[in-house]
Amino acid sequence: MKATQTIALIAVSVLLLLSCSGKKVSLFNGDNLDGWKVVLKEDTDAITGASTFSAGDGVIHVTGSPFGYIRTEKKYSDYLLHVEWRWAGDKAVDGGIFNYLQDGDIVWPTGVQLQMTPKDMGMLMGGIPIDGVEGPFYRKERTVTDNPEKPVGEWNEMEFLCKGGNITVSLNGITINEARCKATEGYIGLQSEGGAMEFRNIYVTK
């Protein structure tokens, strides 16, 4: 690991230790989607939430079609979110993780999305104002030029430190973006947007 990456990892670790009390709250029980709400662009007898999002053996499976997301039933503020994810098909696809999702279950919702396509991996984007970025749809590019994401089929670890509207994102131990937004509380969500992805070990530390 490069020296700059090592320093960044140490800095993030210290920040996390200082910011969280250590109380761990699991968001996914490993067996089903209890505690989550499904929101889809289309929802018919043929296309249901169960066919888009499913759970078992410790993993949430996302088909990518139709577009939509699942979100926690509870809102959270001042937390460290831990998520492990991978591209589950034969190629890297579009996807996202939401923080600070606001009320109003529509596709697409108001919140801060972490973009997960290889081209824009680490971009923070959405309808909530982000300091220093022009709107009304805000996009903040990632702050590193390295590509810390792992190849298709391999698990990645991502963490979001969300405190007082500040968001710091790390991917596989490397800080990839930081932003301050005009929200301090909201739901947490996982996106379906065109391709197969999987998520596991989802929890917050408060």
User: How many CB atoms are closer than 10 A to CB 13?
Assistant: 12
Cβ(147)–Cβ(69) below 8 Å: no
pTM of the model: 0.87
As a whole number of angstroms, the distance between CA 147 and CA 77 comes to 29
**pLDDT over threshold 80, residue 8:** no
pLDDT digits (tens, 9 = 90+) for 29-41: 999 999 999 999 8
Number of domains, the chain: 1
Domain residues for 81? 3-205
pLDDT of residue 194: 85
- Can you tell me the mean pLDDT for 161-178? 97
Which tokens go with 189? 């969500």
**Beta-carbon contacts of residue 7 (< 8 Å; ≥ 6 apart):** none
Q: What percent of the chain shows pLDDT beyond 90?
A: 77
Residue with tokens 């972490």: 114
> At 92, which CATH number?
2.60.120.560
